Each structure stands twice: as C-alpha cells, then as structure tokens.
Amino acid sequence: WERTIKFPGWKMYLNSTQAYIANENFKKYSRKLEILKRIKKYYNDQFGYNNTSNHLYRVKVKNNKEVLKKLKNKGIVTGIHYKCLHNHPVYNYKFNKMQYHRKSQFRKSELEEQQTLSIPFHEGLNHWDIENVVKNVKKYII
C-alpha cells in the first residue's frame, strides 16, 4: 500500500481487453448493485453506520495497520485506501522555502489515514463471509 505520488495528475490504464471486460460487466451491473445494497444495509445495521458508497465499505478502527494484520490472520482481506496528500513529497512545498502547512493543521486528515479501513464489500460475498466479517470487525470498531 505504500506508494509515492511523483506528480499531480491522473492515472489511466485501459487496454482493449479491459474495455471489453468492463463492457460485459455493465450487463451485470443492476444485479451487482442489488447485492451490494443488501450487504451495505446489513453492515450499516450491524456497525451503526450510514455508509452510502457502492465502491468501498470503510470503517473506523484505532489502528488500521494493526487491525489489517489481525483480520488477515483470520482470513479476512481488508485494505487501506487513504493516505494524506499533504504528506506526499509532490505536495510538500518546503523546497520553495515556504511552508504552506504544518502537520497539526490537518489532524483530521491524519486521523483518517490511521483509522480508516476498507472491509470486504463485493457481490461475491456469501452469507457466511458477511457474518464472519461482521463478527471479527465489530471487535475493532471505534
């Protein structure tokens, strides 16, 4: 998960095979959304959240790196998808001999980096998978 942004901009990688696969997946999109809606509702009920995303389901834990390792040992693959942009070298303007930010100015962002964890959220999850995720993730929710 560790990576460095080298310049601001965009990232695009899509060849013709990937475009074909993406197009085929659009045919299944409505069904996928229905399944994700049910999973999201169940997670929201169990965790007391009101998440609305159809892409990631994020929870807050005390230390996401530690919880990621513990859940991995239980066979639950999670992810960390947020890193503070102001800490990336490309956005660090100290080389201009000007300091546009101090870390303490962005404490909320830094807490998000440390506490946000993405849990399994896709249409391939079965009832047992979802129950297992809830049972194990509930221990770490803050």
State pTM to two decimals. 0.80
The pLDDT tens digits of the residues spanning 68-97 come to 999 999 999 999 988 887 777 777 655 444
Category of 125 on φ-ψ map: left (φ > 0), alpha (ψ -120 to 50) or beta: beta
pLDDT of res. 94? 55
The pLDDT tens digits of the residues spanning 11-54 come to 777 889 999 999 999 999 999 999 999 999 999 999 999 999 99
Q: Which residue has the higher pLDDT, 103 or 7?
A: 7
Backbone angles phi, psi at 60, to 5 degrees: -105, 130
- What is the DSSP-derived secondary structure letter of residue 62? S
Q: Which residues contact 78 (CB under 8 A, 6 or more apart)?
A: 67, 68, 71, 72, 117, 118, 119, 120
Backbone angles phi, psi at 49, to 5 degrees: -105, 175
Confidence of residue 58 (pLDDT cuts 50, 70, 90): very high
Instruction: Report the DSSP beta bridge partners of residue 97.
Output: none
Closest by CA position to 75, among listed 132, 121, 139, 123: 132
Does an H or E element contain 57, and which?
strand 57-60
The pLDDT tens digits of the residues spanning 93-132 come to 554 444 555 556 788 988 999 999 999 999 999 999 999 9
Question: Could you give the CA distance from residue 97 to residue 116 in angstroms, rounded to a whole number?
Answer: 33
Category of 97 on φ-ψ map: left (φ > 0), alpha (ψ -120 to 50) or beta: left
pLDDT of res. 39? 98
